[in-house]
Amino acid sequence: MKLIILAAGVGNRLSPATQNTPKSLLTIDGEKTLLDKQLEAAKYCGIKDICIITGFQTEKIEDKIKTRADLGLNISIIYNPFFKSHNNLVSLWTSTCFMDENFIMLNGDNIFKPNVLANLINKAKELENGLLVAINKKSIYDEDDTKIILNKENQIVKISKEIDYNNISAEWIGICAVCGNFIKEFVDKINDLVRTPELLEGSPHYLSVFQGLIEDGKILKTIEIEPNTWGEIDFLTDLEYVRQYITRFNI
């Protein structure tokens, strides 16, 4: 199982903390950064091959990787030169060369307890072929949440930030696994979308890949994670919260 980390963004909503620091290098546990915690979780779960998609201040991320030789991981960097002008669909596209076997994709702003990743890996192994999305269910959803509608089999029928509150089943946490023959379908959908000029002009989000697969009749399965075992750092309040409750995300 490989791991792809999408960490190209500027992180404007976290300014001024990200003025001179990539979001993934924000410290959240003493001197440890968000990226440190993600790499350590990968190590804990037995993942060895990791690809990080960078953009904003890539040199600082590359320097950080050099300091983590202690983890014994095979870490590749792919630089997305379009990080300022396009959304994360293009970052995902730049990583398709790494999608030659089962892989997990996660956002560079995700923090999670390592067993979240371990449980996803174990469940994905049962799939053989398919796409497995980690979801979270809660009583109140925020406007910025990526919302999901599920059917009775807990398969995704719609994924978008724009879903009526009364129809929300869960939220996407930014982590998924792609396995077996579904990898080709996933890559083909990415390539189809980046070859659509009118879509690229709108700086598309990678959610268009998942929604496109659903509209093609593909089944997107889900795994529900335990509450308070994950978070995403989009705003300064998120950063403060994670720092305060960092023990929730430790092994």
What is the CATH classification number for the domain harbouring 128?
A: 3.90.550.10
Query: What confidence score (pLDDT) does residue 213 get?
Result: 97
> Stretch 159-179: mean pLDDT, rounded?
94
What percentage of residues in the chain have a pLDDT greater than 70?
98
> What's the whole-number average pLDDT of the chain?
94
Greatest alpha-carbon pair distance for the chain in Å reads 48
Q: Which residues of 218-235 are buried (b: 16+ CB within 10 A; e: fewer)?
A: bebbbbebeeebbbbbbe
Expressed as residue numbers, the domain containing 122 is 2-249
pTM (two decimals): 0.96
Domain tally, the chain:
1
Query: Which phi and psi (to 5°) does residue 99 adopt?
Result: -90, 60
Instruction: Judge whether residue 244 has pLDDT over 80.
Output: yes
pLDDT recorded at residue 201 = 72
How much of the chain, in percent, has pLDDT values that exceed 90?
86
| Residues 18, 23, 28, 31, CA torsion sign | negative
Look at residue 246 in the predicted model and tell me its pLDDT: 96
Residue 211 has pLDDT above 90, yes or no: yes
Dist. CA 203–CA 189, nearest whole Å:
16
Does the pLDDT of residue 198 top 80, yes or no? Answer: no
Position 217 scores a pLDDT of 96
Q: Which residues contact 131 (CB under 8 A, 6 or more apart)?
A: 176, 177, 178, 179, 182, 186, 210, 213, 218, 219, 220, 221
**pLDDT at residue 197 is higher than 80:** no
Helix (H, G, I), strand (E, B) or coil at 51: strand
Average pLDDT over residues 17-37: 97
Please name the residue that has the structure tokens 């915690």: 37
